[in-house]
Structure 1
């Protein structure tokens, strides 16, 4: 069985979902896009993963802000306002009768190309928009079990050639890192930055706990994760020392606890890194404490809408 932060409980309703593709609602098996799509041809696109909790799109303002920033950075002209895109997402949820424990993937590519090419001037359509909403509840078994990490030789890129903050379709280097980890017998990959400091994981952000302090990377070489930011906010609100700093594998191997964060899985404990067990010798679990504080922030966001 595949084990990792994206493990979800099986839900047969997903076999019959309707997917939004450029103004149409299509059954899962019929949801297709042209082979000349720029996202397929050269990974030229951006995306967001959003959670629906109790009928509310959680932290939607932050997700839309990040998408609009990515579009501006990549020169993709969005033909919708944020309000219009939210309306389309709600249409998808309505037609699929979805209210809770839903994961939404919003994908925008530059459009259809005249011919296979990187050149954006050969794009002959407006941007393509696909919205996939699935009934997805994170596996409690996976959360309780925790995950193992393997440090990949694939580095997180420097901001001057592919900024790690950009949530784009070009994910091959992260896939390569994950393949290394899987082949090494781990669940997911830990990735270092170009200077050799711990940066992030292939699909989640990394945190460690050392003597009552929560550490995460500087943020210069990792995805600017929404959940990452919320965990940092939860720490600051509750007087938990939290530092965005450079640290190495030397520090990680002696950590009291480690965990990763992501929109889908929330906080997932890490129990082994490069074959070394991460054993909490303290009286309390920071992962459990921060998970509860993170859930409080979700509830606060739901209540304010």
Structure 2
């Protein structure tokens, strides 16, 4: 098994799933998109991924906020309301008889091009929408083991040419960073910002713990992660000191603990960075506490959503 924050237990039900493609539900092997799709041609697309937990899509409103903000940023008319997209996602889940431990990724591209080109005026269709829902349960063994990071030479870019908060299909620089990390024998990449401060990882957000204080980057050069925001939230709700601030590798190497966050893995401990052991090299006490508080927040969210349905 590939080790990392997206390790999932094998589930053969995924071989038989149907995938939503522009209003059709297609078997996995038949789910295809045109080679003239804007996302395929020039990476002109945006996406989100959300978890289905006990029948509820948790923090869906936050994901929708980010998607619609991304659409406004790239000048894309999604041609649907939030309610309509929610219905299409639920349709996909129902078709697959899914209720728990499901990872849903929905992707919207600008549409089909008349000819290969960057020019949006050559788009001859409405947006393409693909929804992939898979049975995915995180590997607890991988989580307990923790991951190792390698600091890539690929920097998180400046917001004046590709805002790092934009969840778009153009992920090549993050792929490059991950390749460097893999070639160095690590699981994932740690990325610095243009000033040399620690920004984020290639696919997750990064935190350190020092003297019982939780630190993460300013947020200016990283994905505005939903789980990142929720970890900051539970820190504040539970009186845990937490700062969004600049810090460097000097601070990272001397940290008591480190962890990363993401919608799939929640809180995953980081035990080694650039060959250096972090803290005691195990799932730290604060990281484990935050993992539990985050799980409690999910349960509260499920209860809130159930109550709103029954009201």
**Aligned runs of 1:129-148 on 2, under 5 Å?**
129-148=129-148
1:200 paired to 2:200: yes
Distance in 2 (CA, whole Å) between partners of 1:161 and 1:252 is: 28
Distance across 2 between alignment mates of 1:191 and 1:173:
10
Corresponding residue number in structure 2 for 1:3 = 3
Aligned counterparts of 2:43 and 2:139: Cα–Cα separation in 1? 30
2:155 is the alignment partner of 1:158: no
Question: Are the aligned partners of 2:204 and 2:260 in contact in 1 as well (CA < 8 Å)?
Answer: yes
Describe how 1:67-86 pairs up with structure 2 within 5 A. 67-86=67-86
Secondary structure class of the residue paired with 2:250: helix
8 A contact 1:177–1:191 mirrored in 2 = yes
**Deviating 4+ runs (over 3 angstroms):** none
Q: CA deviation at 1:281?
A: 9.3
Give the number of equivalent residue pairs. Answer: 305
* Cα pair 1:256 1:281 within 8 Å, conserved: no
TM-superposition CA deviations, 1:114-167 (whole Å, max 9, x none): 100111111000000000000000111110100000000000010000000000
1:262: which partner in 2? 262
Aligned match of 2:308 = none
Quote how far apart the aligned CAs of 1:9 are: 0.2
Q: Secondary structure at the match of 2:180?
A: helix
How far, CA to CA, are the matches of 1:43 and 1:5 in structure 2?
24
In 2, the alpha carbon distance for the partners of 1:277 and 1:103 equals 32
SS in 2 for 1:199: strand
Q: Is contact 2:271-2:281 (8 Å) kept? A: no
Given that 1:111 and 1:126 are in contact with CA atoms closer than 8 Å, whether structure 2 keeps it comes out as: yes
SS of structure 2 residue aligned to 1:291? helix
Q: Could you say which residue in structure 2 is the equivalent of 1:191?
A: 191
Q: Which residue of 1 aligns with 2:309?
A: none
Aligned pairs for 1:221-260 within 5 A: 221-260=221-260
Once the two structures are superposed, the pairs formed by residues 2-41 of structure 1 within 5 Å of their partners are 2-41=2-41
What is the DSSP-based 3-state SS (H/G/I as helix, E as strand, rest coil) of the residue aligned with 1:168?
Answer: coil
Query: How much has 1:210 moved relative to structure 2?
Result: 0.4
Q: Normalising by structure 1, report the TM-score.
A: 0.99
C-alpha distance in 1, partners of 2:251/2:154? 20
Answer whether contact 2:215 2:245 (CA < 8 A) is retained: yes
CA contact (8 A) 1:208 1:257 kept: yes
Which residue in the other structure is 1:54 paired with? 54
Decide whether aligned partners of structure 1 residues 235 and 119 sit closer, same or farther in structure 2, where only a CA change above 3 A counts: same
User: What are structure 2's unaligned runs of at least 5 residues?
Assistant: 306-311
**3-state SS, counterpart of residue 220 of structure 1:** coil
The answer to whether the Cα contact below 8 Å between 1:214 and 1:241 also exists between their aligned partners in 2 is yes
State the Cα distance separating 1:50 from its structure 2 match. 0.4
Match of 2:63 in 1: 63
